[in-house]
Structure 1
Amino acid sequence: MNSPDAVPATPEADPAGATPATAAHPAAETQAGGPAVHPAAAAQTHQRADHRADHEPGHRTGDPAVLPPADLRRRLADRLDPAARAWLDRALEEAAEHPGTHGPISVWELRLAEAGRRCGPDHADAARILILDAARADADALTRVYSQGTAAERRAVLHALAHLVPGPDAVPLVEDALRTNDTRLVAAALGPYGARHLDPHAWRHAVLKCLFTGVPVDRITDLARRARGDGELARMLGDFAEERTAAGRSVPDDLYRVLTLASTDGPAPPTPAPDRPRAPHHPPADTPHPDDDPHVKET
């Protein structure tokens, strides 16, 4: 079993949690009986708390796929500079006033293409999720955005699925992302929506894909629940480890973490209903698009 080429799994900033240099910091506060807190120190303390919460196993509080849209908007508004915040407010108003799809391209789809430049790359995912939510994008609209969008827009669609699609209608998008070698798409595909709706066979192979491509298994939502007592997953992991060892290659530490879970007795994960739409007909994005290449040229 050979490992496919992959886009390196580089750490990404929390889409709604990083504080850019242009963001307005909270005013310094004076503690009772103590010195005033410098704004930069307060911001660093806030970021450290966010970082700790986001990296505790099972506590992905900064993940835009996990935060409810209302909480995500408040979190993002605190971190955008005034110009970006004003742009986002206008974009959300437009999306709410003209939801759904209209003609070749809707106004809110144009705003998706602008989000990276307007809000900055650290906050683009969160901004796009909020726009999709305000537009009340259904599975068909999300499929259209995913099929026509850049890698960054596809990632935002995958994050938004848990908020916008209650059933398995969008599973083909998750499956498509898992066929790519863009580690950012693979990680996004294994968020809350994928955890709920991928069938056991597809989910097991997705776990192996993470081990192949270097996506940390901490990015897999509900890993402990779905892996627990999964004998077939344990067998697949054991075979993978043997192949790596026989080839003189190292075995990822994450493999042993998942193998421990899969070897623990527990109930088997539920199997979703098999009936679902077919995957979209377009080539998989083996090489990620530029993050902020818009659908159309702005004027």
Structure 2
Amino acid sequence: MTQPSFRTRDDVSAALPDDTARAWFDEALADAAAAAQAPPQAPSPYLAHPWELRFAAAGRHCGHDNADAVRALLLVEARAGLETLTRLYRHGSAAERRAVLRALPALVEGPHAVHLVEDALRSNDTRLISAAVGPYAAAHLEPHAWRHAVLKCLFTGVPLDAVAGLAQRAAGDGELARMLTDYAAERTAAGRDVPDDLGRVLNLTGEEPKEL
């Protein structure tokens, strides 16, 4: 599996505001580890494992700046499977969905969770889009969907530095170059600025950029 791109346990613990938050974080990870060792149970719409309750409460106890990383680490510690990841994504807040997306490379082999990435890319939440175009998308999105993800970033103002594997996937992609050129022409015709990132990714395709 791809190495996770989020912060390590020690980094997160050091960033927490006080000992109370660190104690809560340690207990949450212990709950998640216990769940990973427990025999599998049929999911219930009425009962949630303690680590899942902590997953939802991470922002309140650890601070909103740390919540994404805390949640992603909980998912990994619990060894959350695709069914759990999908359920937490479907029923979660935008912040909880971001954590699921960031944890995918560490938890899901193959393209089985692409539907979650595609769902996030249909949103206009820039932080969700930024999480969606991470290493899992780089490894598993089909070319057509990946090209549209790049355009979605340009359209919504998400910096292309967020797109994992951009240089590798854009290299020699003539179709991506065509789409970028068409998008630039549409914006120019409408009297709108062309995003600076567009020229950079067009260069990565190997195409000679025209005057944008």
For normalisation by structure 1, the TM-score amounts to 0.64
Alignment partner for residue 82 of structure 1, among 1, 10, 19? 19
- Report the secondary structure of 2:32's partner residue: helix
1:80-229 map, 5 Å = 80=16, 81-99=18-36, 102-104=43-45, 105-229=48-172
- Letter paired with 1:84: A
How far 1:245 sits from its partner (Å)? 0.6
More helix by share: 2
Tell me if the contact between 2:29 and 2:74 (Cα under 8 Å) persists in the aligned partners: yes
Is residue 2:26 matched to residue 1:66? no
The answer (yes or no) to whether the contact 1:65–1:191 under 8 Å persists in 2 is no
Matched, 1:255 2:198: yes
Distance of 1:153 and 1:115 partners within structure 2: 9
Q: Hey, what does 1:25 align to over in structure 2? A: none
Per-residue CA distance 1:63-118 (angstroms, 9 max, x = gap): x9414xxx610111111121111101101111111236653322211101110010
3-state DSSP of counterpart to 2:191: coil
Letter in 1 for 2:165: D
Distance (Å, rounded) in 1 between the aligned partners of 2:57 and 2:191:
47
Q: Is the 8 A contact 1:116 1:124 kept in 2?
A: yes
SS of residue paired to 2:119: helix
Q: What letter is aligned with 1:83?
A: T
Q: What SS does structure 2 have at the residue aligned with 1:123?
A: helix
Contact 1:211 1:252 in 2 (8 A): yes
Counterpart of 2:21, as a letter, is A
Q: Distance in 1 between matches of 2:4 and 2:153?
A: 18
SS in 2 for 1:180: coil
| C-alpha distance 264-243 of structure 1, shift in aligned 2 (>3 A) | closer
RMSD: 1.6
* Alignment partners' CA distance in 2, 1:230 and 1:122: 37
Structure 1: which 5+ runs fail to align? Answer: 1-63, 266-299
Show the 5 A alignment for 1:19-58.
Answer: none
Runs (5+) with no aligned partner, structure 2:
none
Equivalent residue letter for 2:110: G
Output the CA distance in 2 between the equivalents of 1:106 and 1:252. Answer: 45
Q: Secondary structure at the match of 1:153?
A: helix
CA distance in 2, matches of 1:229, 1:247: 29
Partners of 1:224 and 1:261 within 8 A in 2: yes
Give the partner amino acid of 2:49. S
Cα displacement string for residues 149-206 of structure 1 (whole angstroms, at most 9, x for unaligned residues): 0000000000000111121110000000001111111110000001000010000000
Which residue is equivalent to 1:45? Answer: none
Q: TM-score, normalization: structure 2? A: 0.90
Letter in structure 1 aligned against 2:183:
F
1:195 and 1:114 map into 2 onto residues whose CA distance is 30
Q: Which has the higher contact order (CA 8 A, sep 6+)?
A: 1
Aligned length: 199
Q: Which portions of structure 1, spanning 4 or more consecutive aligned residues, are displaced by more than 4 angstroms?
A: none
Bigger mean CA offset, 132-141 vs 150-159: 132-141
